[in-house]
Amino acid sequence: MRRLCGWMGIMTLLVLAAPAAAAGDVMNRMMQGLGAEMARINEGIWREDFEAIAGAAAAIAEHPLPPLLQRLELLAQLGTAAPRFMAADDEMREAALALKEAAEGGRIDEVVSRYQPLQQRCVACHRWYRRDGPGAAERREIVTEWGGSDEQ
Ligand code: HEC
């Protein structure tokens, strides 16, 4: 009976771990896309290419969601943190739309001043996720492995 329980435990872990890994990949790909759009905004600022800036800001605001199945895996992985995660995504969207409007109006100073609040939305979600959100447990493991402190 004990052996049986052990195997069932491993099976459960495998079943749970597989979607979690896939969801992580989906998340990273989505995020790499956002990073590329932020770089495009920067390039646009140096060249005063308002079209490129507005396009990149729109791409951030309307970033494609993963296909339904992967989205469900992602939500399952986020668990009770899902509402917070979606709210943070909404805040980022608002900031991106404000920047897009400034670019469409050709207002370079406003574009520059709206860049930082947008970047803050990215960083705020990362910090929450890594310190208090679902990423925290993983991080604690790494910190313990390094023998460092969890101050940062
Ligand atoms: C709603 C939450 C949220 C928002 C908003 C958000 N991110 Fe992320 N981001 C994550 C999570 C979760 C990860 C993966 C977890 C980790 O690396 O600790 C991540 C990771 C990343 C990575 C690393 C991906 C990799 O391959 O390792 C990049 C780059 C990134 N985000 C860029 C951005 C940019 C740029 C923005 C803003 C335009 C942004 N993110 C906004 C949640 C968010």
Q: Where are the domains of the chain?
A: 2-146
pTM: 0.82
Residue 145 pLDDT > 70, yes or no?
no
Average pLDDT, the chain: 83
Closest CA to 31 of 132, 143, 130: 130
- 111 C-alpha vs ligand 1 centroid, how far in Å? 22
The residue type found at 85 is F
Q: Work out the average pLDDT over 6-35.
A: 65
Q: Work out the average pLDDT over 90-109.
A: 98
> Higher model confidence: residue 56 or residue 23?
56
Helix, strand, or coil here: 5?
helix
pLDDT grade, residue 114 (50/70/90)?
very high
Tokens of 111: 């574009």
Measured from the CB, is residue 139 less than 6 Å from ligand 1?
no
Measured from the CB, is residue 95 less than 6 Å from ligand 1?
no
Residue 94 pLDDT > 90, yes or no?
yes
Number of neighbours of residue 118 by Cβ within 10 angstroms: 24
Pick the CATH number of 2-146 from 3.40.50.10470, 1.20.120.10, 1.10.1200.10, 3.30.420.40: 1.20.120.10
Q: DSSP class of residue 79?
A: G
Distance CA 150, CA 142 (A): 10
- 141 C-alpha vs ligand 1 centroid, how far in Å? 20
Residue 103 pLDDT > 50, yes or no?
yes
